[in-house]
Amino acid sequence: MGMKETESTTPIDAPGAPQAGTPLPGGGTSARPEGSGGLFGSGGPTFLTTRLDWVINWSRRNSLWPMPFGTACCAIEMMASAASNYDLARFGMERMSFSPRQADVLICAGRVPYKLAPVLRRIYDQMMQPKWVISMGACASSGGIFDNYSMVQGIDTIVPVDVYIPGCPPRPEGLIYGLMMVQEKIREERLSDHTVNRAEDPLAAGHPRASAPEIEGLTGPFGNSTRQNRLSGLVRTSRISRPDDRRP
Amino acid sequence: MTDDTPFDAVAAGPRPSDAHDPELGGHPAEVPDHPSVTALRATFGDAIRAHQLHAGDENVVFVDPAALYAVLEFLQQDPDQRYDYLLDLTAVDYGAGTPIQVVYQLWSLGFHRMLRVKVELPLDALEVDSVEPLWKTADWLEREVWDLFGVTFRGHPDLRRILMPANYAEGHPLRKDFPLRGRFSRAEQTRRALALEVDDNYTVLERELGAEPQIVPAAPAGEPDDGRGSDDTMKGE
């Protein structure tokens, strides 16, 4: 009992006091001196000190709520990842947040046609900072086998992407690994870099993320099974170029 | 086969699948009579260009495009035909400059009878009468055919794109003469896609349908209850 009185009179965060504490993974220090035993609150002062970076990143990476943007078969694997066999909730993805306002990580699972591109961009713009994006599967990452007139050749031309998951579709283990890579990325973040990492130009909302030459570089004359390109055309009919077809 | 590329097969045009090939079990030379085709020949004469049997028992009738609406109207309204269900309306482009075929798949609920009507439209005259007055379902199906093949349907109430974005300006992508990656550069395609507001794909009426639900005013006190029930909060007014 006398030991307890001694503790309560000693400010634990004063210089010289923490050497009795237990080092925490983030470099923090437990307020519980060695030998006191029991749970927090059973004895001495019940607080701990740590780095603000570490505790904020710890809380962020362990409560990542995904915004599922599932458009194709990858979404089936995403659902399987959330179901009980694989159980994303173990990693803090406690629920799928079907509202972008409450979501932390956008999982784009499946192919994105050009008609859906403004929808994806708007959902990304609606998400709160900090936010991360996972491009799940070959189609979302590069257009996949759909190198055609209607498909976005990689969603990184639309929104910035943090983690690309290969596969067609990736297995649930792949998605979970990708989410853990996002967690690793969050672990490395520093609050001092926050304004740099999270800077967003409001004028960039609704615009392509990549520049025009960058987008052009994505689709070279390779991998096209029918050897058609933009310049080819078997029969040039006058109907194609009639003004009615070129609606504004 | 001397095809160097799959592209040459497209250039070669349609395979002679209409020819009778006994080994492949192709179309029989003798087509058994179909009651609707008999009636069509009696009524329209030369406007009925051909009658074929595809895939065993699919009766296909090729019709003069000028007589198409009259033929389909006859098939729908004649008491002995009554093709009251338009199963599908689509188009086929066999490539190499061959005419685009517009396909009408009909089903008679009363007679349990199926008939496929086709018109062949040359590429420089892609225009045919709309059958939207006969079957309301043809509204969206004809929009789809116009969107992807560029076939204009005369008399259609609202002929605009349905699958491609509203500001799509590269043509009609399911045509064989359409380049696979489209006509614009990828950067231009991306820019155009993001320049489109999502609401632009819908008409004013369609946007109203997706707006806030309207509150239906309560029935006056004098009217008897029609048994459909009503909202209690509305009764209190």
Tell me the whole-structure pTM to 2 decimals: 0.73
Check if the beta carbon of residue B7 is closer than 8 Å to that of residue A226: yes
Higher pLDDT, A121 or A224: A121
Candidates B180, B196, B199: best to mutate against A (most CBs of A within 10 A) is B180
Whether residue A8 has pLDDT greater than 70: no
Q: Which residues contact B108 (CB under 8 A, 6 or more apart)?
A: B81, B82, B83, B84, B85, B114, B115
Whether residue A176 has pLDDT greater than 60: yes
pLDDT of residue B224: 58
pLDDT of residue B133: 92
Check if the beta carbon of residue B82 is closer than 8 Å to that of residue B110: yes
Phi, psi of A58 (to 5 degrees): -60, -45
In 3D space, the residue among B26, B42, B151 whose CA is nearest the CA of residue A245 turns out to be B151
Check if the beta carbon of residue A52 is closer than 8 Å to that of residue A191: yes
Whole-angstrom distance, CA of residue B63 vs CA of residue B115: 12
pLDDT of residue A36: 53
Give residue-wise pLDDT tens across range B13-35.
555 554 445 554 555 556 778 88
Q: Which tokens belong to A69?
A: 């943007």
What average pLDDT is seen over chain A? 76
Q: Which tokens belong to B207?
A: 């946007």
Whether residue B61 has pLDDT greater than 50: yes
Give residue-wise pLDDT tens across range B89-129.
999 998 778 899 999 999 999 899 999 999 999 999 999 99
Candidates A119, A126, A146, A149: best to mutate against B (most CBs of B within 10 A) is A149
**Interface ipTM above 0.85:** no
What value does the mean pLDDT take over residues B189-200? 84
Identity of the residue numbered B36: S
Phi, psi of B45 (to 5 degrees): 60, -120
pLDDT of residue B108: 92
User: For B227, left (φ over 0), alpha (ψ -120 to 50), or beta?
Assistant: left
Tell me the pLDDT band of A2, cut-offs 50, 70 and 90.
very low
Interfacial A residues in 140-199 facing B (CB < 8 Å):
147-150, 152-153, 157-158
Give residue-wise pLDDT tens across range B122-159.
999 999 999 999 999 999 999 999 999 999 999 999 89
Strand partners, A175: none
Could you report how far apart the first and last alpha carbons of chain B are, in Å?
80
Tell me the pLDDT band of A194, cut-offs 50, 70 and 90.
confident
